[in-house]
Structure 1
Amino acid sequence: MAASITIVGLGPGEWHDLTLQAYAVLARAAAEGQTVYFRTLIHPTVERLRAEITGLRCESFDHYYDESQNWETLYQQIAEEVCTLAGRPLREAQPVIYAVPGHPLIGEASVQRVLTLARERGLSTSIVAGVSFLEPVCTALELDPLEAGTQLFDATTLAALGDDEVAGKIIPTLPLLVGQVYNRRLASAVKLVLSEVYPDEWPVKLVRAAGVGDDETVVTLPLYELDRGTSLANHLSTLYVPPVDELTALRLPETLRYITMRLRREPDGCPWDRKQTHQSLTRYVIEETYEVVEALEENDMEKLADELGDLLLQVYLHSEVARQEGEFAIGDVFEHVNAKLIRRHPHVFGETEVSGAEQVLVNWEEIKKQERIAAGRDVKEESVLDGVPLAAPALIVAQEYQKRAARIGFEFSSVEDLLKKVQEEIRELQEATSPEHRREEMGDILFMVAKAALWLDIDAEEALRRANRKFRQRFQKVEEIIRQEERTIASYGDEEWGELWEKAKR
């Protein structure tokens, strides 16, 4: 039984690149009065076909290129129409013929959508191979795509990528070929996407009419000029982006991995970085974490981007130390966190339904419990306080302990009772007679103050950081007043200090 849809490859453009099988299919269609649907008529082979094959009836989807406002749906629209035509009654004896440039399965995004949609609708398909655009393009560039690890994209697919997707799809340290850069508007969209990971001045090559005799040209230009010329891009245009050096691709995670590896490489890395261990780097993880917190509290987004990078460096440094010691690699870090997020969000990545954020938290705790069981932990012997890192700031640990204890009923009945307990701890501090006893009672006071903050829905650690920042700002203002008055600090008495402080508070 004949296929419902026959997809024919027209080759890159030269007449002698059209296969005998493709010619036979098109000639038979003309003899039977059947229409051939071309993705585009802007292809050198089409004009010769019309001249060679009498009665060839041609229709195209060129109008979609001018009408479409969405690169992502352009080829889907074409596929919908092709499959709709193939699904009409009385088509069994006469399949739809869809002709595309090059080879149907190489750099031809519309064909993949046709094949997918045809399977969904129960339509059979057949492929008539053709010479792809890759052969003449690689010949013009003197490029071996396999040896170089070349990436291949359709221009409309690339243009549809969001800003947050580009770094995960394109590896700029490998060569890139972008096919079907068919007009200036698409060239502009491609340029904007590539600018996310390549320097604006990066030299690229636009290959036009590859393999089509004297029409073939290779134009070298900086990336930012890709859409400047009105006549550069057309249906036979392929963009080549050469690879950047590892130290040039500054917007990619892979570059950070390379840099950390290079810093610790023997014998020509950095002497300081080479001598670091997990233990010696611990303090920097803590320092960088607090600098991120400071940037957040200052609402300084430029500083936050910088500090997050410093914190990310610590992740990569520890991963590189571990890799060199045969413990784990950065890939293991990614695998652990990705698997954990997927596993703990079945309402996003699975079929679980939730009623709201509260149920998400309930599910989260149950999933964590199942993870501990799978790891061989005896959950019956667990404490509700397990899993709180003691290395965390003491106020954070205190409030986490208090929240967990309250969940199982260990709680004050009212805020008044809680405040009475605070007063009791203060009295016990006043009555303490030894340094050790006073230290213990001071700890109890701080613990109960953290509990009072929890009752008032206040993050005690954040509140104390705010108080520290307020004190710093006011004291620095006091210092500025002293400098303005041209006096020494020792010359101020207690009453004057009080006056200075009141001025600073205004």
Structure 2
Amino acid sequence: MSAPTPHPDYVSGDHKFADAQLLTDESGVSGIDRLRAIMHRLRAPGGCPWDAEQTHASLVSNLLEEAYEVVDTIQRDDIVHLREELGDLLLQVVFHSELAEEAGTFDFDQVAHEISDKLVRRHPHVFARAEANDSEAVLNQWDAIKREEKGHQKKPYLHGVGDGLPALMRAAKLQKKAAKVGFDWRDAAEVIDKIDEELDEVREHYGDDGSVADRAGLESEIGDLLFSVVNLARKEGLDPEVLMAAANEKFARRFDLMEGVLSEQEETLEEASLETMEAAWQFAKERA
């Protein structure tokens, strides 16, 4: 698929739709066309200075933040706000496509067509004559087609797996991929034994006085411990990223309750002793 040439609008500053047409969803313009036109207007001369300054690189943190906010609404089963957060995420796709179209490299339609082609190509059991009667067969077929497309047969088996993902998610993805060729623990009990082993290796780096002689070694062992815990979650069919997010929320919720207990006792977090905070924490644990 060839790259588009820069659209004349980006040179002249003209716009496909008048501003009045973009102000309401009753304009008769489709939702996606309206969004793309608004994004174009924001970037065009006389538009928004902040939007005009953005680049692919400057928007990375926004993209990640919006993706995680979508995940958060799903985890909280907050359907009311899911639509809003999906819109924020869609904006990021439209924004990056707008930047690319300005540069003449690709546009939103090409993004949509490319993923459509990929879906058709990787679902031969739906659009062709291949067979895949269950989810496992579908995933194996998808993986085989993906490796063929990217030529992964000539590269290391784990080449590129999970690149760019948060560390917990990538750990699970690497482990899952390795498990497909039989490199895996037989059951969760073996993983728990491995966690115990890794925890002992962490302890070995601490002296009797609590000092650490080999800081680099300690870091490595803690990393191994975390990796093993991810393995246990994966082995039980759980998503470590989801588990960690839930643990974060639980901690924050209990900490807020603890702070409230201290406030009722006319103490602040800064003033309270560790013993007092621990007592308040135990009280909070019973309620959250």
Query: What range describes the TM-score normalised by the shorter chain of this pair?
Result: 0.7 to 0.9
Q: Summarize deviations over 1:235-259 as a string: whole Å, max 9, x none.
A: xxxxxxxxx8233237611111001
Question: Could you tell me which of 385, 395, 407 is aligned with 2:180?
Answer: 407
Structure 2 residue identity aligned to 1:480:
G
Distance 1:417 1:317 in 2: 47
Secondary structure of the structure 2 residue equivalent to 1:408: coil
Instruction: State the identity as a percent.
Output: 39
Q: Summarize deviations over 1:224-245 as a string: whole Å, max 9, x none.
A: xxxxxxxxxxxxxxxxxxxx82
User: What TM-score do the two structures reach when normalised by structure 1?
Assistant: 0.49
Distance 1:352 1:328 in 2: 32
**Structure 2 counterpart of 1:463:** 243
Aligned runs of 1:168-317 on 2, under 5 Å?
245-249=21-25, 252-265=31-44, 267-317=45-95
**Structure 2 counterpart of 1:434:** 214
More strand by share: 1
Distance 1:419 1:490 in 2: 38
Q: CA deviation at 1:463?
A: 0.9
Secondary structure of the structure 1 residue equivalent to 2:57: helix
User: What TM-score do the two structures reach when normalised by structure 2?
Assistant: 0.83
Q: Aligned pair 1:500/2:272, yes or no?
A: no
Q: CA deviation at 1:312?
A: 0.5
Assess if the C-alpha contact under 8 Å between 2:42 and 2:52 holds in 1. Answer: yes
Question: Could you tell me which of 463, 482, 488 is aligned with 2:268?
Answer: 488
- Larger Cα Rg: Structure 1 or Structure 2? 1
Distance 1:359 1:321 in 2: 38
Secondary structure of the structure 1 residue equivalent to 2:21: coil
Distance 2:134 2:191 in 1: 31
Structure 2 residue identity aligned to 1:428:
E
Distance 1:257 1:469 in 2: 36
Q: CA deviation at 1:498?
A: 2.0
**Structure 1 counterpart of 2:229:** 449
In structure 1, stretches of 5+ residues that fail to align are 1-172, 174-243
Q: Summarize deviations over 1:26-78 as a string: whole Å, max 9, x none.
A: xxxxxxxxxxxxxxxxxxxxxxxxxxxxxxxxxxxxxxxxxxxxxxxxxxxxx
1:353/1:418 CA distance change after superposition, 3 Å: closer
Q: Aligned pair 1:333/2:106, yes or no?
A: no
Distance 1:299 1:328 in 2: 36
1:380/1:348 CA distance change after superposition, 3 Å: closer
Distance 2:268 2:195 in 1: 40
Larger RCO: 1 or 2 (CA < 8 Å, sep 6+):
2
1:286/1:503 CA distance change after superposition, 3 Å: same
Distance 1:407 1:357 in 2: 14
Distance 2:80 2:121 in 1: 33
In structure 2, stretches of 5+ residues that fail to align are 1-16, 206-212
Assess if the C-alpha contact under 8 Å between 1:247 and 1:255 holds in 2. Answer: no
Structure 2 residue identity aligned to 1:382:
K
Assess if the C-alpha contact under 8 Å between 1:288 and 1:307 holds in 2. Answer: yes
Between the two proteins, the alignment pairs up a number of residues equal to 258
Structure 2 residue identity aligned to 1:444:
D
Aligned runs of 1:9-408 on 2, under 5 Å?
245-249=21-25, 252-265=31-44, 267-372=45-150, 377=151, 379-408=152-181
Distance 1:355 1:363 in 2: 11
Distance 1:350 1:412 in 2: 37
Distance 1:503 1:285 in 2: 39
Q: CA deviation at 1:316?
A: 0.5
Structure 2 residue identity aligned to 1:249:
D
Alpha-carbon RMSD across the aligned residues, in angstroms, is 1.9
Q: Summarize deviations over 1:189-225 as a string: whole Å, max 9, x none.
A: xxxxxxxxxxxxxxxxxxxxxxxxxxxxxxxxxxxxx
More helix by share: 2
Q: CA deviation at 1:459?
A: 1.3
Q: Summarize deviations over 1:126-166 as a string: whole Å, max 9, x none.
A: xxxxxxxxxxxxxxxxxxxxxxxxxxxxxxxxxxxxxxxxx
Q: CA deviation at 1:501?
A: 1.0
**Structure 2 counterpart of 1:234:** none
Larger displacement relative to structure 2 (336-345 or 318-327):
336-345
Q: Summarize deviations over 1:73-114 as a string: whole Å, max 9, x none.
A: xxxxxxxxxxxxxxxxxxxxxxxxxxxxxxxxxxxxxxxxxx
Q: Aligned pair 1:420/2:193, yes or no?
A: yes
Secondary structure of the structure 2 residue equivalent to 1:278: coil
Name segments (4+ residues, structure 1) moved above 6 Å.
none
